[in-house]
Amino acid sequence: MNHFEYRDGRMFCEDVPLDKIAAEVGTPVYVYSQATLERHARVFREGVGVLPRVHCAFAIKANPNLGVLRVLANQGYGADVVSGGEMVRALAAGMKPTDILFSGVGKTQGELAAALDAGIGQFNLEHEPEGIALAAIAHQKGLRAPAVLRVNPDVDAGTHAKISTGKAENKFGVPISEARAMFARLAAL
């Protein structure tokens, strides 16, 4: 791992000995290297930079630590959030509202309204009633909701059954056979 190394039998994170951190704040403790986060964020962005259009968004559920999120925001990353609380954390960390994607299956009407008020960049819709509710809230506010459908392609990616998300029997996304018609109905709203 970059920026973590042993020096004379002591583990350091950048230039700080971990035993010093443990003595000052106790254990267990999580220690992050800002330099490592910045490097990996940069390397990832460079890796996908060959694509014509790139939007890098960090899944807040992976690590909601505000310090980590601030580093990523400073590297130009947006956020993928699945709740109003995660959206608040992303905004508090300095991520631009337009760089936030709101995903997830359990969005409440209050969360949809708050996200519209914040000016988030995209709603990832899981089913038609969610799109209808979002359209009604946006209409009431005189706004247009930027939204896409999460389509379930009914493809087996060969992953573990407990984490599979792309098969028809999985709970995520709109069946591919219904996507075009559903998109047309929702787009009219």
Q: What is the pLDDT of residues 91-131, one digit of tens each?
A: 999 999 999 999 998 899 999 999 999 999 999 999 999 99
Percentage of the chain with pLDDT > 90?
85
Place of tokens 């219904």: 178
170 pLDDT higher than 80: no
- Give the number of other CB atoms < 10 A from CB of residue 81: 29
Stronger pLDDT, 164 or 8, i.e. the higher one: 8
| pLDDT score of 2 | 78
177 pLDDT higher than 80: yes
| pLDDT score of 168 | 62
Q: What is the mean pLDDT of residues 143-165?
A: 81
Q: What is the DSSP letter of 101?
A: E
**How sure is the predictor about 12, in pLDDT bands with cuts at 50, 70 and 90?**
very high
Please give the Cα distance from 136 to 142 (Å, whole number).
Answer: 10
119 phi-psi bin (left φ>0, alpha ψ -120 to 50, beta other): left
